[in-house]
Structure 1
Amino acid sequence: MAYLAPCKVCVRRLHKKVAHRRPGSVRKPKARSLATASQRDEKCPEQLEGGVYERAPMPEGYSFVPKGDIFITLKCRMKTWESKQIVYNVYNGLTQIPVGIRVPSGIYAEVLAKSKETERPRAFAANPRYTNSQDPARTLLRRHFPMMPGHILDSIVEYAFQEGSGRVGCDETLSDSEKAQLAVEAHIRHHHTPYEAMLESGLDRELAHRRVRETVQRIRKAWEGTD
């Protein structure tokens, strides 16, 4: 039978330090306690964040900011923090994927106005791929979706309204408003929802359409300015 060698265990006695002070003396408060007291009511950014699902009721005075434009989302978030109000991160109820944020309506309107002032328009005329025939498409989309970020509008024009592509923007059987709505909804579906991931996982296309429909409609209405 094998035996284990005995182990030496060292036991250290812990001595509690006792602070001695002269009789009648007053303990001085630590300097950092004053700073803590002055900052007691201040909230960190983490405390100004909340999470909700898309179906949750919209708080009074708030608007939905769809995911997609980094400048607008970041500015809305920072300005809401600065005003000591809560930013609500909005998630899809089925996939748990973030689809945007909710911020005070006044802040959203201010950021949108600022983004239009600072937005650098892309020079279509400088590129031979683009022609004046795309100008009506840009006007059409901007008329129906005034809140749509500029770079997204450019992307939709380039893809859906490209001459000879046979895509929805060139379908002569549709009215202008139908072309605009279908082109925008298709863009949202493919770029702002988990639709592509659903198809890759083997989900039926029609079922995937139904699952992302609510998100698509919500973002479309936000870009229309009706949400």
Structure 2
Amino acid sequence: MAARALFPPHSGLLVFQPLKRRQCAECRRGPLPLLVLEDSAPRCLDCADLGHLVFLPRGDTALTRRSREESALSAVVVRFNRRKSRYERQGVLVEEAALARAEQRCLADSEARRRRRARDARRRADQDALFAQAFAAEILRLLPGCPPDRARAIAGHASERGSGRVGRSAAGRALTEEAVMAAVVASVRHLDTPYDRLLMSGVPRHEARRRIAAAVETVLRGWTRTGLGSTG
């Protein structure tokens, strides 16, 4: 039959979602939502001894695989795609009890994955906290007059996971002086100068940076002196 030629030989039993209205050649029921071809004649699932199976749509690979493993009898459901001139898998028919067992296995795996994700998240949070501490310590080494609370805030902001900020770059992870100072300058620019107001008023970015450069330098010079940041 043409469908078998167009579908992988290892698929096992094939059940079809017909594109046209078809009747069972044996019991004459129809139209059939699903059918089996026997001797080129359509048979309903009951007449083909598959009526006790339940349909599992495609989409969950693990559930499909496990349902077929658990089911003594199963079939692949296909439908012809006229545009692509081929049969495409729509799901599987499996025993209801087998589907229930497969769902339990997937739920157990889901809980294990949830616990693993939680462990990974805690580990990443610990790593991020340690890195932020190291980043803040490097800020204070370079700028001993920077208030410690401010150094911690800069470090936390610059090193936020997934932010794409300088602290997540290779240079930032290596705590290079250039990367650390870039994070500090960015913080000073936004919090200690009228830079944001200039941008909002339509001043081009490069011109805005030029206008506030002296103010940034004043703050940084103040932070290079020890003893000015002892309030944090």
Shorter-chain TM range is 0.3 to 0.5
Q: Under a length normalisation based on structure 1, what TM-score does the superposition of the two structures give?
A: 0.41
Relative to its length, the structure with more helix (as a share) is 2
Q: Per chain length, whose mean CA-contact separation is higher, i.e. which structure has more relative contact order (CA < 8 Å, sep 6+)?
A: 1
Q: Under a length normalisation based on structure 2, what TM-score does the superposition of the two structures give?
A: 0.40
